[in-house]
């Protein structure tokens, strides 16, 4: 019976992806495009050669981290919509440490990543603290913190890190995640960030499932009254949750600053890494492993979809609809779960 | 015979357990039909099948003689079946009327016609003698009121057959009387009722017939006029059950708990505990008797560290614990079986096993250096499940999936097993079957005999009289009298609880 349940858990995402692809195909057909060509282009764009594969992984890495950041807070009953801002400050902090000095890599790189985590955690601390202390809803504070992050980072880049320039100098080699080896293999920007992201997904799973702190955080997420009754400090756990969630988000920023771009530049709007993290976490059922798969799907679709207009001549707007449809179907996996248990029952 | 409901050969399985196995239930028109069985016997499950929440694997349901398929509660509603669940399903922040009409709101040009709804609610509530304030918010009204709202909800939807799942478990004796009157009115108005209860006296008092199930299997239906509580109990448990709790006289020793001049406010800022004095000694069970709402909950929450103490002191083993956090109270040697098991007692979405270490997960052997040791956690869980007869498919089952009574047994096991210096038991046997009650009472007495102090809060005078060594009567935020159970009667207690003779008794103690 347990294996049966597990089987359903694996089956559902697969069925949802297939249904999503079918729905996308119908859209393409009804607008007179060839779905085989369309999906061919999508696949080519995502995994067609080592360059595309590399670029896809580059997209996936920060999404894993923003996904687990959202998922972690969610498990504690909190909605961290401020991941976007935490990514920004993490990005800036990592680049700042990366360009300010040179040191042996074994010190410099971890320090740069760590500072990104600390920056994200500090940014997360604000909504967490205000919620715990004054009961201010975390969503409102998080959203405001996103804007503060965006504009503060831009101002710092222009006025402090550079002299009125739009981008910082590249980080020192000793703080860089990028890899000459990967570049020679793939020609893409592929860097070591994916490894860091996977390691941290493991860390998230470990904290939640294996530690006493994780036990408390999950308990607070499910039932604050019972947690209080059991002697847990609910408010302190809310702050902890935001600190940990924020540090994951901050390190997502380090992926960009130390890996993908190797610097930071003035941005006119949000990166969407944080907002996509919400979808990734939901796709993954707020678990670590689920978020990894969710990020993988998201990154693949985003990267692969870029080729569809070029190769199959499908208008960009239509591509967006198709991608949205696939994600929609995956997200509504619970409908399929319902149908499956239904069928099983009738079959008996 | 005219049956309004017939459930024939119903079978319902859950992963790892057969909850209903070939059960038959036939309800006549205009009767109150009792459904009796141990905790986890499958009563709620059977009713959820009838209400369309679960689909049976096998069996047939007939309503007024016609075979029907009830695949969801809307169909049940259309067939005139209404259900009041064991754990209420109300929206706290909504008003009484809003809760009643939720899902079938009267509309006026696209908006909800709340005035019309309020008038209708008023009308139904008067017709059946179910007094409620249609504009009050659910979170501000008593449990008894909330239950009336649940009943009104079903009547508003036109129910003719009412399922009441353990309605009296959460009520005070006074409220139970009112509910019984309401049920009689409903029958007069042509309704039929299926009543689940563990209180055999209630069955004897109001029911016409009684169907007994044991471990998922139908044992049969008996005519209440031709049976007795002893027969019902043995039918249900499958062995003889004793109703009187055997115990030796207490030998109270040193003072464990000493409360002086305690003042506590409730959530809305009204003073509920008003300069209370109370002590409990090692080796004695002190029962607090009182009408609900006289500050009992606030008193217990204050001792447990869950509610702020305004003034006064609480001493445990001569050390002050007045302003301790719940964690420090627990560590000082207090265990607490909370009144509201879903709100405080359990994390329903955790496996039942993880719930068994809710207070000591951070201690050895359940964890070391911040890493949980699941092997030890589940070892402890299995021990408690075994010892306290918690019926669950496995220790990994979410607490939510356990029957109400088994959730309660799990909490009691967890708290008693820590063998604290002071055990606070607030309505510990709420929702338990007679066999389980007997067992829990034995456990409380065992703790006492080990030299622990036990503070028992119960609205059941019988329980107070049976188990306590000393009864403290609480009225209007104070202990107004201390009496010995052997020197008093239910009548006298009732009077004291209502506040009469306060002067005389308080002077005596
Ligand atoms: N949703 C569920 N999933 C899995 N098992 C369940 C579920 N609901 C009930 N069960 C199991 O079915 C059995 C019967 O439960 P049910 O709630 O019907 O008991 P009950 O007779 O109402 O007991 P109580 O008097 O304690 O309320 C129990 O063993 C319980 O663990
Ligand atoms: Mg039940």
Residue A4: predicted pLDDT: 62
Residue A61 has pLDDT above 60, yes or no: yes
**Domain span at A102:** 71-291
Closest in A210, A230, A231 to B371, CB measured: A210
Label residue A15 by pLDDT band (50, 70, 90).
Answer: confident
Q: Which residues of A touch B328 (CB under 8 A)?
A: 231
Would the CB of B410 count as within 6 Å of ligand 1?
no
Q: Which residues of A touch B57 (CB under 8 A)?
A: 345, 348
Q: How far is A115 from chain B (nearest CA, A)?
A: 25
Compare all CA atoms of chain B with the CA of A2 and give the residue at the minimum distance.
Answer: B15
Alpha carbons B96 and B102: distance in angstroms, whole number: 10
Collect all residues from B whose CB is shorter than 8 A from any CB in A: 15-16, 55, 57, 304, 306, 325-331, 336, 338, 343-350, 354, 358-359, 361-362, 367, 370-372
Judged by CB atoms closer than 8 Å, whether chains meet at A211 and B350 is answered as no
Compare all CA atoms of chain A with the CA of B328 and give the residue at the minimum distance.
Answer: A231
**Rounded to the nearest whole angstrom, what is the distance from the C-alpha of residue B393 to the centroid of ligand 1?**
10
* Angle, alpha carbons B388-B390-B396 (nearest 5°): 125
Going by C-beta distance under 8 Å and a sequence separation of 6 or more, which residues neighbour residue B437? B198, B429, B463
Q: Which residues of B touch A224 (CB under 8 A)?
A: none
Element (H, E) at A50: helix A50-75
B37 Cα nearest atom in ligand 1: 21
Which ligand approaches the C-alpha of residue B408 most closely? Answer: 1
Residue nearest to atom 17 of ligand 1 (CA): B403
Judged by CB atoms closer than 8 Å, whether chains meet at B346 and A223 is answered as yes
Q: How far is A132 from chain B (nearest CA, A)?
A: 17
Q: What is the pLDDT of residues A264-291, one digit of tens each?
A: 999 999 999 999 999 899 888 889 999 9
Judged by CB atoms closer than 8 Å, whether chains meet at A210 and B57 is answered as no
Residue B509 has pLDDT above 60, yes or no: no
Judged by CB atoms closer than 8 Å, whether chains meet at A229 and B325 is answered as no
Element (H, E) at B63: strand B58-63
Which ligand approaches the C-alpha of residue B429 most closely? Answer: 1
Q: How far is B373 from chain A (nearest CA, A)?
A: 8
Would the CB of B42 count as within 6 Å of ligand 1?
yes
Higher local confidence (pLDDT), B17 or A14: B17
Residue B114: predicted pLDDT: 84
Number of residues written out for chain B: 509
- Please name every residue paired with B27 in a beta bridge, in sequence order, or none if there are none: B5
Question: How far does CA A125 lie from the centroid of its chain?
Answer: 19
Q: Is B221 exposed, middle or buried (0-12, 13-18, 19+ CB in 10 A)?
A: middle
Cα torsion angle, A40, A43, A45, A47, sign: negative
Q: Is residue A176 part of a domain?
A: yes
The answer to whether B177 and B494 are in contact (CB under 8 A) is: no
ipTM of this predicted structure? 0.85
Q: Is residue A58 part of a domain?
A: no
Domains of chain B and any CATH numbers: 3-237 (3.40.50.300), 242-333+469-509 (3.40.50.300), 338-419 (no CATH)
**What are all long-range contacts of A126-132, with beta carbons under 8 Å and residues at least 24 apart?**
A127/A80, A127/A82, A127/A242, A128/A78, A128/A238, A128/A239, A128/A240, A128/A241, A128/A242, A128/A243, A128/A246, A129/A239, A129/A242, A131/A78, A131/A238, A131/A242, A132/A235, A132/A236, A132/A238, A132/A239
Which ligand approaches the C-alpha of residue B46 most closely? Answer: 1
Q: Is residue A326 part of a domain?
A: no
Element (H, E) at B284: strand B284-289
Q: How far is A207 from chain B (nearest CA, A)?
A: 9
Q: Is residue A18 part of a domain?
A: no
Q: What is the pLDDT of residues B107-150, one digit of tens each?
A: 777 787 888 888 888 888 888 888 888 888 888 888 888 888 99
User: For chain A, what is the domain count?
Assistant: 1
Q: Is residue A272 part of a domain?
A: yes
User: What DSSP state is assigned to residue B208?
Assistant: S
Compare all CA atoms of chain B with the CA of A346 and give the residue at the minimum distance.
Answer: B57
Q: Which residues of B touch A75 (CB under 8 A)?
A: none
Closest in B343, B345, B359 to A231, CB measured: B359
Would the CB of B39 count as within 6 Å of ligand 1?
yes
Residue B377 has pLDDT above 90, yes or no: yes
Instruction: Report DSSP letters for B462-489, one per residue.
Output: HHHHHH-SEEEEEETTEEEEEE-GGG--
Residue B504 has pLDDT above 60, yes or no: no
| Nearest C-alpha neighbor of A261 from the set A272, A253, A269 | A253
Percentage of chain A beyond pLDDT 90 is 70
The answer to whether B163 and B97 are in contact (CB under 8 A) is: no
Q: What is the pLDDT of residues B448-486, one digit of tens each?
A: 999 999 999 998 888 999 999 999 999 999 999 999 999
Closest in B329, B350, B361 to A222, CB measured: B350
Q: How far is A233 from chain B (nearest CA, A)?
A: 9
Residue A77 has pLDDT above 70, yes or no: yes
Q: Identify the weakest region by mean pLDDT among A203-207, B246-250, B396-400.
A: B246-250
Judged by CB atoms closer than 8 Å, whether chains meet at B358 and A345 is answered as no
Q: Which residues of B touch A219 (CB under 8 A)?
A: 347, 350, 358
Label residue A2 by pLDDT band (50, 70, 90).
Answer: very low
Label residue B429 by pLDDT band (50, 70, 90).
Answer: very high
pTM of this structure: 0.87
The residues placing their C-beta within 5 Å of ligand 2, an ion, are: B 44, 86, 403-404
User: Edge-to-edge strands of the sheet including B192-196?
Assistant: B66-68, B58-63, B3-14, B17-28, B217-223, B209-214, B32-37, B192-196, B161-165, B81-84
> What's chain A's average pLDDT?
90
| Nearest C-alpha neighbor of B95 from the set B20, B146, B167 | B146
Q: What is the pLDDT of residues B138-157, one digit of tens each?
A: 888 888 888 889 999 999 98
Residue B366: predicted pLDDT: 97
Percentage of chain B beyond pLDDT 90 is 69
- Residue B217: strand, helix, or coil: strand
Q: Is residue A148 part of a domain?
A: yes
Q: What is the pLDDT of residues B291-343, one digit of tens each?
A: 888 999 999 999 999 999 999 999 999 999 999 999 999 999 999 999 988 89
Would the CB of B402 count as within 6 Å of ligand 1?
yes
Closest in A211, A230, A232 to B371, CB measured: A211
Q: Which residues of B touch A214 (CB under 8 A)?
A: 372
Cα torsion angle, B273, B278, B284, B288, sign: negative
Residue B505: predicted pLDDT: 45
Compare all CA atoms of chain B with the CA of A209 and give the residue at the minimum distance.
Answer: B372
Q: What is the pLDDT of residues A112-137, one digit of tens each?
A: 999 999 999 999 999 999 999 999 99
Q: What is the mean pLDDT of residues A184-202?
A: 94
Q: Which residues of A touch B359 (CB under 8 A)?
A: 230-231
Would the CB of B406 count as within 6 Å of ligand 1?
yes
Instruction: Report DSSP letters for B354-414, one per residue.
Output: HHTTTTTTTSTTTEETTEE-HHHHHHHHHHHHHHTT---S-TTSBGGGS-HHHHHHHHHHH
């Amino acid at each position: 019976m347990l294996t049966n349940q597990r089987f359903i858990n694996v089956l559902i995402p697969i069925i949802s992806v297939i249904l999503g692809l079918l729905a996308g195909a119908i859209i393409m057909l009804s607008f007179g495009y060839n779905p085989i060509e369309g999906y061919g282009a999508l696949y080519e764009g995502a995994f067609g050669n080592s360059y595309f594969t590399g670029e896809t992984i580059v997209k996936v890495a920060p999404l894993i981290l923003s996904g687990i950041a959202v998922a972690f807070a969610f498990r504690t009953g909190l909605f961290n919509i401020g991941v976007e801002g935490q990514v920004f400050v993490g990005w800036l902090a990592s680049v700042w440490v990366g360009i300010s000095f040179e040191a042996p890599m074994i010190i410099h790189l971890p320090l740069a990543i760590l500072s990104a985590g600390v920056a994200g955690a500090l940014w997360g601390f604000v909504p967490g603290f205000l919620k715990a202390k004054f009961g201010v809803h975390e969503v409102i504070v998080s959203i405001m913190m996103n804007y503060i992050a965006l504009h503060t980072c831009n101002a710092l880049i222009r006025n402090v890190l550079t002299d009125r320039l739009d981008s910082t100098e590249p980080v020192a080699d000793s703080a860089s995640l990028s890899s000459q080896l990967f570049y020679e293999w793939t020609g893409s920007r592929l860097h070591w960030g994916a490894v860091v992201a996977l390691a941290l997904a493991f860390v998230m799973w470990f904290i939640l499932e294996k530690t006493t702190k994780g036990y408390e955080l999950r308990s607070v997420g499910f039932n604050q009254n019972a947690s209080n009754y059991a002697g847990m400090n609910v408010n302190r756990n809310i702050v902890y949750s935001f600190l940990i969630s924020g540090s994951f988000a901050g390190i997502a920023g380090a992926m960009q600053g130390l890996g993908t771009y190797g610097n930071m530049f003035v941005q006119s709007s949000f990166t969407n890494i944080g907002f996509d993290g919400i979808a990734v976490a939901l796709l993954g059922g707020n678990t670590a492993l689920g978020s990894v798969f969710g990020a993988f799907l998201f990154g693949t679709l985003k990267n692969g979809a870029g080729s569809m207009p070029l190769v199959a001549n499908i208008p960009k707007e239509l591509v967006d609809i198709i991608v949205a449809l696939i994600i929609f179907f995956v997200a509504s996996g619970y409908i399929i779960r319902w149908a499956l248990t239904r069928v099983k029952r009738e079959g008996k | 015979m005219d049956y309004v409901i017939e459930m024939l050969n119903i079978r319902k399985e859950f992963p790892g357990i057969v909850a209903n196995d070939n059960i038959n239930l036939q309800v006549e028109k205009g009767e109150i039909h009792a459904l009796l069985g141990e905790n986890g016997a499958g009563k709620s499950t059977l009713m959820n099948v009838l209400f369309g929440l679960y689909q049976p694997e096998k069996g047939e349901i007939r309503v007024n003689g016609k075979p029907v398929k009830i695949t969801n509660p809307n169909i049940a509603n259309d067939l005139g079946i209404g259900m009041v669940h064991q754990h209420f399903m109300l929206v706290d922040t909504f008003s009484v009327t809003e809760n009643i009409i939720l899902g079938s709101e009267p509309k006026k040009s696209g908006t909800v016609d709340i005035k019309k709804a309020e008038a209708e609610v008023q009308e139904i509530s008067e017709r059946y003698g179910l007094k409620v304030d249609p504009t009050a918010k659910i979170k501000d009204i008593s449990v008894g009121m909330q239950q009336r709202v649940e009943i009104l909800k079903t009547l508003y939807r036109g129910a003719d057959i009412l399922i009441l799942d353990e309605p009296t478990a959460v009520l005070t004796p006074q409220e139970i009387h009112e509910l019984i009157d309401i049920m009689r009115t409903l029958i007069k108005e042509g309704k039929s009722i299926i009543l689940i209860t563990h209180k055999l006296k209630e069955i004897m008092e109001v029911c016409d017939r009684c169907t007994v199930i044991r471990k998922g299997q139908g044992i049969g239906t008996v005519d209440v006029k031709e049976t007795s509580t002893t027969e019902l109990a043995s039918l249900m448990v499958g062995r003889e059950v004793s109703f009187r709790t055997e115990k030796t006289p207490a030998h109270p020793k040193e003072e464990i708990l000493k409360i002086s001049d305690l003042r506590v406010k409730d959530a809305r800022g009204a003073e509920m505990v008003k300069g209370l004095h109370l002590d409990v000694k090692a080796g004695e069970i002190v029962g607090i008797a009182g009408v609900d709402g006289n500050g009992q909950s606030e008193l217990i929450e204050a001792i447990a560290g869950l509610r702020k103490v305004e003034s006064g002191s609480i001493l445990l083993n001569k050390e002050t614990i007045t302003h301790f956090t719940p964690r420090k109270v627990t560590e000082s040697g207090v265990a607490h079986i909370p009144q509201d098991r879903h709100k405080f007692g359990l994390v329903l979405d955790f496996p039942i096993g993880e719930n068994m270490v809710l207070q000591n997960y951070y201690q050895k052997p359940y964890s070391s250096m911040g890493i949980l040791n699941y092997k030890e956690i589940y070892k402890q869980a299995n021990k408690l499940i075994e010892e306290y007869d918690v019926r669950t498919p496995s220790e990994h089952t979410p607490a939510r999936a356990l029957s109400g009574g088994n959730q309660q047994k799990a909490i009691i096991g967890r708290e008693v097993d820590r063998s604290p210096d002071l055990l606070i038991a607030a309505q510990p046997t709420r929702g338990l079957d007679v066999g389980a009650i007997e067992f829990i009472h034995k456990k409380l007495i065992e703790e006492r005999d080990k030299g622990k102090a036990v503070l028992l809060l119960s609205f059941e005078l019988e329980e107070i009289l049976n188990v306590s060594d000393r009864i403290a009567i609480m009225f209007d935020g104070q202990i107004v009298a201390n009496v010995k159970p052997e020197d008093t009667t239910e009548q006298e207690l009732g009077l004291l609880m209502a506040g009469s003779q306060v002067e005389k008794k308080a002077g005596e103690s």
